[in-house]
């Protein structure tokens, strides 16, 4: 399973994969927002946590259909499905690779981009914490969506439609955590809920995603 993770990471980094792409997309979203709402730093700092979260979510979405599509095309997905390791493990590793190439860089880039949006300095830590906690859930949910649409020729748009409603709870608790942390309010509830969502998706969704892949490969 480690070998699979390394293989996916290698592919992402070498073959012009989604590695830098998601980060660049995130940057562009953050740069475009001030053009849209105006350069007033009071407004920007109020909406910064939400913009960073929505930007991370969209950047995540952008690279989802690559998770299984390429492997499906060249047939390696069939080999992985018949390999001795359980398909659930394969799915979990795919999600992990997706997180390392999108969620992790986005989390690390968040403070720098937060500066552009005049995010309050107190909120930097909270922003990183909430993204670090929440983006694994985004990757895992997205992997499930990608598993549902793996056999489809033009699944990209459908994938967004399927996955975005599933992102709602993560987004709400993630953005709420930053907003509360920045205001110095009690953060235990959103923090625990966000962690719970991530843990539950990582624990349960590999089974649903593996089931979907089995159906699609039948």
Partner 1 sequence: MSLWEYANPVKFMRTSRALLPWFWGLTLVSLAVGLVWGFFLTPEAENFGSTVKIIYVHVPSALMAINAWLMMLVTSLIWLIRRHHVSALAARAAAPIGLTMTVIALITGAIWGEPMWGTYWAWDPRLTSFLILFLFYLGYIALWEAIENPDAAADLTSVLCLVGSVFAILSRYAVNFWNQGLHQGATMSLDKEENIANVYWLPLVITMVAFGLLFVTLVLVRTRTEIRARRIKALIARERMG
By C-beta, is 111 or 169 nearer to partner 1? 169
In the complex, the smallest distance separating the C-beta of residue 134 from partner 1, rounded to whole angstroms, is: 12
Nearer to partner 1, 102 or 160 (CB): 160
Nearer to partner 1 among residue 89 and residue 151 (C-beta): 151
SS (H, E, C) the chain: CHHHHHHHHHHHHHCCCCHHHHHHHHHHHHHHHHHHHCCCHHHHHHHHHHHHHHHHHHHHHHCCCHHHHHHHHCCHHHHHHHCCCCHHHHHHHHHHHHHHHHHHHHHHHHHHHHHHCCCCHHHHHHHHHHHHHHHHHHHHHHHHHHHHCCCCCCCHHHHHHHHHHHHHHHHHHHHHHHHHHHHCCCCHHHHHHHHHHHHHHHHHHHHHHHHHHHHHHC
For residue 29, the minimal CB distance to partner 1 (Å) is: 21
Q: Which is nearer to partner 1, 26 or 173 (CB)?
A: 173
Q: Which C-beta is closer to partner 1: that of 9 or that of 172?
A: 172
Contacts with partner 1, residue ranges (CB under 8 A): 144, 148-149, 151-152, 155, 158, 161-162, 164-166, 168-169, 172-173, 176, 189-190, 193, 197, 205, 208, 211-212, 215-216, 218
Q: At its nearest, how many Å lie between partner 1 and the CB of residue 81? A: 15
Q: How far is the CB of 158 from partner 1 (least distance, A)?
A: 5
Q: Minimum distance between the CB of residue 189 and partner 1, rounded to whole angstroms?
A: 7
């Amino acid at each position: 399973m480690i070998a699979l993770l390394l293989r996916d990471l290698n592919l992402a980094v070498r073959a012009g994969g989604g590695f830098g792409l998601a980060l660049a997309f995130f940057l562009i979203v953050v740069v475009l927002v001030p053009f849209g709402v105006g350069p007033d730093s009071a407004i920007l700092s109020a909406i910064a946590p939400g913009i960073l979260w929505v930007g991370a979510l969209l950047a995540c979405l952008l690279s989802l259909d690559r998770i299984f599509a390429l492997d499906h095309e060249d047939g390696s997905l069939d080999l992985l499905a018949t390999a001795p390791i359980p398909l659930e493990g394969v799915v979990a590793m795919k999600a992990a690779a997706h997180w390392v190439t999108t969620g992790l860089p986005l989390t690390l880039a968040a403070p720098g981009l937060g500066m552009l949006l005049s995010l309050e300095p107190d909120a930097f830590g909270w922003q990183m914490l909430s993204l670090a906690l929440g983006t694994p859930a985004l990757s895992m949910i997205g992997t499930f969506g990608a598993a549902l649409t793996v056999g489809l020729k033009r699944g990209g748009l459908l994938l967004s439609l399927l996955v975005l409603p599933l992102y709602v709870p993560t987004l709400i608790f993630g953005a709420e955590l930053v907003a509360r942390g920045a205001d110095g309010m009690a953060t235990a509830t959103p923090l625990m809920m966000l962690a719970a969502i991530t843990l539950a998706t990582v624990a349960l969704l590999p089974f649903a995603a593996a089931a979907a892949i089995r159906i699609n490969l039948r």
